[in-house]
Structure 1
């Protein structure tokens, strides 16, 4: 398998997801602005989204995918299908219980994330949480499907699936919210309905993809099937691995809870500013980090199962070079070109120039730590493939403490931008710690040529950054909102020129992109 081609496929399809996600956020910003109700929606949506990252894409995937890849490599197809069926049955029972408890406990969950919301915002957030909570059930089953499909090297469907969520929210926002307004119902509730519809659609499209590879899980609600599944050795291994993984992912989600609470107390609309900035930061982290992680995790696990240490370290080295090559220029763009991007993407309707300024500062804070945020997606799978969940967890706990200390120092000084900067700095420390751990274990040995490679990338990023700094100051990107088409064209030309400068300087310096084509 060509790793670059596989990662590129995931990245391109993820781009479609992020573009539609950005359009979704543009719609929310234009229709509702940064207000108490948008803060309420962000809190309500963050609850099932947080649990999705905690259980589905987080601890469950980290525990399940390496075991699935090892089982398929070492024990064959029959044992692999038995594992899938047992895990799916236990997961289904756990999700039913979780959804019931979540709907009943919505007031407590909203208080935990949005205690600073006014009464009207808190009531709206409780209603939307109850409507959206079953989304976590859909997405956990989607995560199970994604783990199976990625192990079978079928990356397209898992990468493209999130587009359905974004399209559902956009459709409901545009067409359902006016009808709700006419009925005397808060129109923002249309977004919650769109989330739930999107979750169902994402789950439905997994069925033909799983049937095509003959790996459709056999789900059962019978107590006998549950007892047999619970006694499965594979389920016990997944649950054992999920313990430390859950703690590690939980640390990141706890940090998100704390940051949301702080943002709500900073200013009205601050939680929305942070969310809109996060959407921009997610473009490179998803296109690079998620794509690399999705491709590398099963491959690293299979190499570890075969005892192929040379292939294992070579794949890690390839992944880290891709991080430097692509994440560094993106970080420079977030730092130097934040205000133009935020203005072009969000400045319309109810989203004011003040919202542009605050969101831009938050984007710059994330830009500081982008290399760390992407690097973690490559380095953490290096531990998961070795069935070492504890080391990333210990690092994550210490970084959480560091992040909150940074919040205490930076938020009074920088406001909402301080929250983003604290996250960015914490991510850099986390990635550096993970890299140091792999080096000390002897699992990763850098290949020759890193110094020359780094100098070329830094020089090209500096040249690109100089152009972006000039473009950011030369045009009044906020005032250009009077001519939306001209502003959009200028943005497209600016980004195209930046990419041209970056890759031109790399070529002049003698860096050949062909060297990144790698097979595993």
Structure 2
């Protein structure tokens, strides 16, 4: 099983790597075009709302509720009953998301006022920042339909994942990145409102993602005619699981939205600095955390359906070990190399050294929570695979309320950086509660070999930190260098860190087959 999971994880990671690299290219192009000013703040704001709802209807709560039920149907029911479930889910979800999308487009001023309170108040008082509110309502009307496209894209991806076709859904985000890059390079520079041009790039990218899935569904004989099925037993079970999961799996997204609301009251650039930091955080999170969580959910669901308690624990342990192996060095690398990475990737065009400085603080704050964010992606499936969504929702609400409290506490003394600190602290609390719940339920307990593995990974990471600080040039040297020299130095530092980390693991007795065999 561990070898199969490793293979699936590598496939998803490879496809995700392509997408994340293009995502970085997209952010580099956007940063060069708009920097961290008003246009950038508005564009990133207008993207956050449909992306938050995407987590609810598509990749987050829905997928966590849908995959275990679909797996159960594929294992215990006939092919015809499974197709009927897919038909009812597509029709029911489709109608609901269509209504939400139409309401979102029409009510974009209300949504902009709700989540951009600072801009709305400025608009009421005829202050300069009021222009951001007016612009945000227009951009949101264009980006909001992305929710409809990505919902069906995620539905198709969930179906394909349960059948072992992980590469398709992992590769799909490439099209969104290509669409935005195309808009930013060829159309936005000649536009008086580049944020609106980029919004149309989001719309087109969502449409292409949706269309890309259809041939693969046909090949799997999983393309069905949607039909309404609110009271279908499978849909009822998905609804029952999904409602509490809306909170449990989307806590981090709710926290980010609350961050955006608070940031709208702070200085211009706050939303953009948080966005660029979050994008760099999402690179290792998506490459490792989400990839591993994606491949273990179907495996855990099968373990649960077939009453394989020992297999369930081994699958969880494999996921946690993989996260520890990759998450620890990634977390410290983000913190230490925050400023060099931002300088290499974004410092050109409208993105200044001042923006690098400001974004680096939020990246270090977010980076401190990377391991917690990654563990959540692995621990949460331990509940959803057992069709238990009530327990994580309690933990999610606790973490969300804690985050809001920390936001209010830290926003005044630390500004936008305080928002990132609060998010990381609440993620740590959420991960701790998730593990504690699994442990108390007798479902999963970290094995002794994994604890020893963790200790060795910590020592190896410490060696990596020493090496990075030893070779890290001063800021003035980075400023004196041209882009090519900076990029070469950054790549050298990353390679030095990776080699020292791997050397530490080898000296402590960790071998590649330790993960492959799951021992």
Deviates more, 1:305-314 or 1:171-180: 171-180
Specify the alignment match of 1:222 in structure 2: none
Is 1:359 the counterpart of 2:359 in the alignment? yes
Specify the alignment match of 1:218 in structure 2: 225
8 A Cα contact 2:472 2:493, kept in partner: no
Specify the alignment match of 1:187 in structure 2: 194
The offset of 1:473, in angstroms, is 4.3
Specify the alignment match of 1:259 in structure 2: 259
Specify the alignment match of 2:116 in structure 1: 114
8 A Cα contact 1:132 1:192, kept in partner: yes
Specify the alignment match of 1:507 in structure 2: 506
Specify the alignment match of 1:403 in structure 2: 403
Deviates more, 1:132-141 or 1:402-411: 402-411
2:265 is paired with a residue whose SS is helix
With over 3 angstroms needed to count, the CA separation of the structure-2 counterparts of 1:421 and 1:95, relative to structure 1, is same
8 A Cα contact 2:42 2:195, kept in partner: no
Is 1:66 the counterpart of 2:65 in the alignment? no
Is 1:209 the counterpart of 2:208 in the alignment? no
Is 1:176 the counterpart of 2:187 in the alignment? yes
8 A Cα contact 1:343 1:477, kept in partner: no
Specify the alignment match of 2:155 in structure 1: 144
What is the TM-score with the length of structure 1 in the denominator? Answer: 0.95
Is 1:43 the counterpart of 2:42 in the alignment? no
> Which residues in structure 2 correspond to 1:325-340 (within 5 Å)?
325-340=325-340
What CA deviation, in whole Å up to 9, does each residue of 1:279-326 have, x standing for no partner?
Answer: 010011111111011101111011100000000000000100111110
Specify the alignment match of 1:435 in structure 2: 435
What is the TM-score with the length of structure 2 in the denominator? Answer: 0.95
1:172 is paired with a residue whose SS is helix
1:265 is paired with a residue whose SS is coil
The offset of 1:251, in angstroms, is 4.2
Deviates more, 1:450-459 or 1:272-281: 450-459
What CA deviation, in whole Å up to 9, does each residue of 1:109-157 have, x standing for no partner?
Answer: 1111212232221111111111111110000001100110100010001
Is 1:494 the counterpart of 2:496 in the alignment? no
- Counterparts of 1:430 and 1:113, CA distance in 2: 24
| RMSD (Å), alpha carbons | 1.5
Number of matched pairs:
507
8 A Cα contact 2:108 2:141, kept in partner: yes
Is 1:13 the counterpart of 2:24 in the alignment? no
* Structure 2: unaligned runs, 5 residues or longer: 120-128
Among residues 30, 33, 38, which one is paired with 1:31 in the alignment? 33
8 A Cα contact 1:477 1:487, kept in partner: no
> Which residues in structure 2 correspond to 1:277-316 (within 5 Å)?
277-316=277-316
Specify the alignment match of 2:86 in structure 1: 84
Specify the alignment match of 1:275 in structure 2: 275
Structure 1 stretches of 4+ with a deviation exceeding 6 A read none
Specify the alignment match of 2:484 in structure 1: 485
The offset of 1:477, in angstroms, is 6.0
- Counterparts of 1:17 and 1:76, CA distance in 2: 36
8 A Cα contact 2:303 2:311, kept in partner: yes
The offset of 1:345, in angstroms, is 1.1
Specify the alignment match of 2:166 in structure 1: 155
- Counterparts of 1:249 and 1:459, CA distance in 2: 32
Specify the alignment match of 1:123 in structure 2: 134
- Counterparts of 1:477 and 1:164, CA distance in 2: 37
* Structure 1: unaligned runs, 5 residues or longer: 220-224
- Counterparts of 1:41 and 1:119, CA distance in 2: 15
Is 1:56 the counterpart of 2:58 in the alignment? yes
The offset of 1:396, in angstroms, is 0.8
With over 3 angstroms needed to count, the CA separation of the structure-2 counterparts of 1:391 and 1:99, relative to structure 1, is same
> Which residues in structure 2 correspond to 1:416-431 (within 5 Å)?
416-431=416-431
- Counterparts of 2:27 and 2:255, CA distance in 1: 23
- Counterparts of 2:89 and 2:134, CA distance in 1: 37
8 A Cα contact 1:300 1:315, kept in partner: yes
8 A Cα contact 2:52 2:254, kept in partner: no
- Counterparts of 2:241 and 2:349, CA distance in 1: 48
With over 3 angstroms needed to count, the CA separation of the structure-2 counterparts of 1:76 and 1:445, relative to structure 1, is farther
8 A Cα contact 2:252 2:427, kept in partner: no
Specify the alignment match of 1:394 in structure 2: 394
2:444 is paired with a residue whose SS is coil
8 A Cα contact 2:112 2:133, kept in partner: yes
What CA deviation, in whole Å up to 9, does each residue of 1:64-92 have, x standing for no partner?
Answer: 11111111112242222111111001112
With over 3 angstroms needed to count, the CA separation of the structure-2 counterparts of 1:396 and 1:477, relative to structure 1, is farther
Specify the alignment match of 2:205 in structure 1: 198
Specify the alignment match of 1:453 in structure 2: 453
- Counterparts of 1:112 and 1:56, CA distance in 2: 22
